[in-house]
Structure 1
Amino acid sequence: MGRRIPLWQIFMVLAFMVALLMYTIVVVDGYIHIALVISGAFAAIVAIANGYKWSYLEKGIINNITNSMQALLILLTVGMLIGTWIAGGIIQTMIYYGLMILNPNIFLVATVLICCVVSLSTGSAWTTAGTVGIALIGIGTALDISLPMTAGAIISGAYFGDKMSPLSDSTNLAAAMAGANLFDHVKHMVYTVVPSLTISLIIFGILSMGHSSSNVDMSDVTILMNGLKDNFYISPILLLPPLFVILMVVFKIPAMPGLFAGALLGVLFAVVFQGGNLGELIGIVMYDGYVSKTGIEFLDELLTRGGLSSMFYSSVLVLCAMVIGGVLDASDMLKTICEKLLRFSKSTGSLVLIVLATCISCNIIAADQYVAIVLPGRMFKQEFEDRRLKNKNLSRCLEDAGTVTSALVPWTTCGAYMSSTLGVATIAYLPYSFLNLLNPFISMFYGFTGITMEKMTEEEYQAILKQRELDAALAAVE
């Protein structure tokens, strides 16, 4: 153990990390993985200069990675599930029936709902915006509806699914960083995201009034729906696997075996309903994902995804983030920052406010959604536990601010992607991204009122204390 690291040195480490991340994202337009590792190395140098031994810091990194292993395994399982669900026509069926609700008379409302369905099906806001979102932008233009309004509706719906889908990597990551069960986390987010979605739909409904639909061009949607029906077997029976996932949540089946069972169901449905080859499904699709060959460009782009390998980027990013997170944790840098911030936290509401503000600040400063989930998750996990607040309260806060605000900052990876994909400046669609704007405030409301902020039982709290004692004993032995 070394001496307490001065606050100015901690800020130097954070400033170095932010500068390197910004340079990598804005100047080089590269991957942030190595920037995180180099930042971890710089943090380790500062810690060693203050008396910490490398062997001690290394144990902190390994412990951090160990704590993230469940999330990594779930991420990899989700990759397999996405691939087999596309091969089985399951995701196509969900998208097809989602497009059927499109009604030009309430275009903005329908846009939100369609994007909700597609993003829930795929677990990706990016895929939703880059495929169905582009088609909806074209329809909105034909309807003479403001492009920023249309983009805001697309992003609101896309991030609903990105936040609520068990297939989403950010959803899995937030649950893991807070130490929450994945399905407990998803269910707990209903309290914040459903009011956000409801209010957003009402506002979009009001904005849609007075728009004429007489000259709307539905050709893109027609092509998409025909492409789905012509190339895949579409039937309500293919909604059984998603229903299985819902029942899995209800009956509290552990996430990883339940999701893997869902992936195997996808294999079965692919063989029975889509004429898939069993050997190819197990040997290729579950690893490399599904490759769509319909000949319709934007449909193939939507459906070519999934597989174990599709989660390598996110999984390796988590490992790299755990390097600097482990050093910051082992050297008590995170503890020092938390102590300073928590001086302003006299209640549950102020604690939630600090977490939300930290997540948003990470998006603005570090310019990456994953960093905005990982760092605050590591920083505030123990404080939530000490106040006997269930871990799912923290995981919900991480998503309520870290996930949804990432698309509202022009220089984040999410903001840049949405702006370039939809052809609308971030600052233009920001005022209309109602779900993303409302979510942090609704989360803050629950924090200050105490509504839905569930407390641990005495048994749960004692189990956490015992686990901490065990971890400390293991660290001492090593």
Structure 2
Amino acid sequence: MEQLRKGNPLALIPFAVFIILFIGTGILTGDFYKLPVLVALFAAILVALLMNREMSFQDKLRHLTEGGGHPDIILMVIIFLLAGAFSSVAEGVGAVDSTVNLGLSVLPGNLLIVGLFVIACFISISMGTSVGTIVALAPIGMGIAEQTDVNVALTMGAIVSGAMFGDNLSIISDTTIAAVRTQGTEMKDKFKANFFIVLPAAIITAVIFGVITADASTTMQEEHPYELVKVLPYLGVLIFAVIGVNVIYVLMGGILFAGIIGLSVNEISMMDFVTLLGDGFQNMQNLSLLVILLGGLVELIRRNGGIDFLLNSISRGARTDRGGEFGIAGLVSAVNLSTANNTISIITAGPLAKQISERFEIDSRRSASLLDIFSSSVQGLLPYGAQILSVAGVASISPVAIVPFCFYPILLAVSGILAIIFRFPKFTIKQQG
């Protein structure tokens, strides 16, 4: 590996501006989503454009557009748009309700919370979105809490735990897409590497919820109607994604399959299908713009020496690949704490993580897994993150009260740390992309 350049710490000022604006506004107002993230990001870009007098303004603009228009960034945007369209169409044909109700219909009363966690895992890994899973399940979780003697915060913690399981693992999750694209590996390879690290955490989480609620009484007798045919779009996407079909084909096929099912059971009309597609694309517009602008900002920071400085700072104490892996974990965790968004944190930390993995010869499947594991863990424990804020709003309780019951994100971090220490799982040698 070639000798690293010293870098320039002042090049990180735009990133500091972004963090201060985003987090500072949240602290002052009590609402961490008061200032639109795109506004904070655009301000940071303006600062970056005003720096480095040795470079012409036209060159800076060129670097900004090169970073935002990188093939990996554009492909990521296309995948985001297709994932949004699939989620919208699947929800519009009733696939979410049927999938949720199917699980609730087959669970015994004393396993409702464990079942809620498992259902959230299944829904989130199929939908690829933790927030979407929470929106679908939080009302049901409240119903369970109201008709049992289970703590409301515990019920919401089970939903957040399951939602973060899929957010971390799902082939169509934006965090998985971002981790895979920034590290230059394949979706199916990252899934396999990630799965064996997080499976123990999921099993232990289910056991904990089972033990805590083993004696819970319930009077819940409500029926939960479902249609198996409406569950098929999620099953299809999950199966074809896991066996390694290209994600573009998986999402396009899932959209068409869900639409055909909706039309065949008269759940939607052709015009409804088109409208749902548009809604799905629109739901991903902010994230797509965010990805493009972040790509441009990171490129400007890199050109000004900021990436080299960070790489030197983080890897200074690292002497082995294990130290490099802890560096990747710490980097993405710190960014996630600052931005309260695991996708943003992966996109921001991904290029640097790639350089660290190359320097210490860390397998790209492993670096992608570490990025996703630690960002999802932090995100699932942030009281000012979208996930916990969503369930807290439904339950009308403090977000802080839910955090202690988010067992899976806690165990996810533990599993990630143990995987680094014990070098698990083992990989055969594979060339970096």
TM-score normalised per structure 1: 0.80
After superposition, residues 41-190 of structure 1 pair within 5 angstroms as 41-46=46-51, 48-49=52-53, 51-65=54-68, 66=70, 67-190=72-195
Quick one: structure 1 residues 276 and 320, their matched pair in 2 at CA, closer, same or farther if it must change by over 3 Å? same
**Alignment correspondent of 2:343:** 370
**What secondary structure, in the 3-state scheme, does the structure 1 residue paired with 2:427 have?**
coil
**Alignment correspondent of 1:293:** none
**Alignment correspondent of 2:23:** 22
Output the CA distance in 1 between the equivalents of 2:390 and 2:242.
Answer: 35
CA contact (8 A) 1:183 1:255 kept: no
Output the CA distance in 2 between the equivalents of 1:403 and 1:314.
Answer: 17
Output the CA distance in 1 between the equivalents of 2:221 and 2:167.
Answer: 26
The one-letter code matched in structure 2 to 1:287 is G
Output the CA distance in 1 between the equivalents of 2:118 and 2:278.
Answer: 31
Question: 1:103 deviation in Å?
Answer: 2.9
CA contact (8 A) 2:127 2:172 kept: yes
Output the CA distance in 2 between the equivalents of 1:450 and 1:175.
Answer: 20
Structure 1: unaligned runs, 5 residues or longer:
289-306, 465-478
Question: 1:209 deviation in Å?
Answer: 2.5
Tell which deviates more after alignment, 437-446 or 124-133.
124-133
Name which of 284, 300, 311 aligns with 2:275: 284
Quick one: structure 1 residues 98 and 425, their matched pair in 2 at CA, closer, same or farther if it must change by over 3 Å? same
**Alignment correspondent of 1:389:** 362
Question: 1:30 deviation in Å?
Answer: 2.7
Tell which deviates more after alignment, 242-251 or 432-441.
242-251
**What secondary structure, in the 3-state scheme, does the structure 2 residue paired with 1:16 have?**
helix
Question: 1:89 deviation in Å?
Answer: 4.2
**Alignment correspondent of 1:470:** none
Quick one: structure 1 residues 425 and 353, their matched pair in 2 at CA, closer, same or farther if it must change by over 3 Å? farther
After superposition, residues 245-260 of structure 1 pair within 5 angstroms as 245-260=237-252
After superposition, residues 186-335 of structure 1 pair within 5 angstroms as 186-213=191-218, 216-219=219-222, 222=223, 225-226=224-225, 229=226, 234-235=227-228, 237-274=229-266, 276-281=268-273, 283-288=274-279, 307-335=280-308
Matched, 1:338 2:343: no
Quick one: structure 1 residues 141 and 277, their matched pair in 2 at CA, closer, same or farther if it must change by over 3 Å? closer
Output the CA distance in 2 between the equivalents of 1:353 and 1:204.
Answer: 30
**What secondary structure, in the 3-state scheme, does the structure 2 residue paired with 1:139 have?**
helix
Quick one: structure 1 residues 397 and 421, their matched pair in 2 at CA, closer, same or farther if it must change by over 3 Å? farther
**Alignment correspondent of 1:473:** none
Quick one: structure 1 residues 247 and 420, their matched pair in 2 at CA, closer, same or farther if it must change by over 3 Å? closer
Output the CA distance in 2 between the equivalents of 1:371 and 1:445.
Answer: 25
Output the CA distance in 1 between the equivalents of 2:396 and 2:26.
Answer: 20
Question: 1:10 deviation in Å?
Answer: 4.1
Output the CA distance in 1 between the equivalents of 2:368 and 2:250.
Answer: 21
Question: 1:452 deviation in Å?
Answer: 2.3
Quick one: structure 1 residues 389 and 178, their matched pair in 2 at CA, closer, same or farther if it must change by over 3 Å? same
State the Cα deviation string for residues 320-362 of structure 1 (Å, max 9, x = none).
2223212112222012111111012222222222222222222
CA contact (8 A) 2:182 2:350 kept: yes
The one-letter code matched in structure 2 to 1:52 is M
State the Cα deviation string for residues 159-192 of structure 1 (Å, max 9, x = none).
1122223343233223223333333333332122
Output the CA distance in 1 between the equivalents of 2:106 and 2:397.
Answer: 25
Output the CA distance in 2 between the equivalents of 1:73 and 1:212.
Answer: 47
Output the CA distance in 1 between the equivalents of 2:82 and 2:348.
Answer: 24
The one-letter code matched in structure 1 to 2:420 is G
The one-letter code matched in structure 1 to 2:317 is F
**Alignment correspondent of 1:421:** 394
**What secondary structure, in the 3-state scheme, does the structure 2 residue paired with 1:133 have?**
helix
TM-score normalised per structure 2: 0.88
Quick one: structure 1 residues 211 and 258, their matched pair in 2 at CA, closer, same or farther if it must change by over 3 Å? closer
CA contact (8 A) 2:84 2:281 kept: yes
Quick one: structure 1 residues 441 and 149, their matched pair in 2 at CA, closer, same or farther if it must change by over 3 Å? same
**What secondary structure, in the 3-state scheme, does the structure 2 residue paired with 1:408 have?**
coil
Report the aligned-residue RMSD: 2.6
Matched, 1:379 2:384: no
The share of aligned pairs that are identical, in percent, is 19
Quick one: structure 1 residues 357 and 4, their matched pair in 2 at CA, closer, same or farther if it must change by over 3 Å? closer
Tell which deviates more after alignment, 265-274 or 328-337.
265-274
**Alignment correspondent of 2:425:** 452
Quick one: structure 1 residues 210 and 262, their matched pair in 2 at CA, closer, same or farther if it must change by over 3 Å? closer
Quick one: structure 1 residues 89 and 141, their matched pair in 2 at CA, closer, same or farther if it must change by over 3 Å? closer
Structure 2: unaligned runs, 5 residues or longer:
none
Output the CA distance in 1 between the equivalents of 2:104 and 2:302.
Answer: 47
Tell which deviates more after alignment, 110-119 or 20-29.
20-29
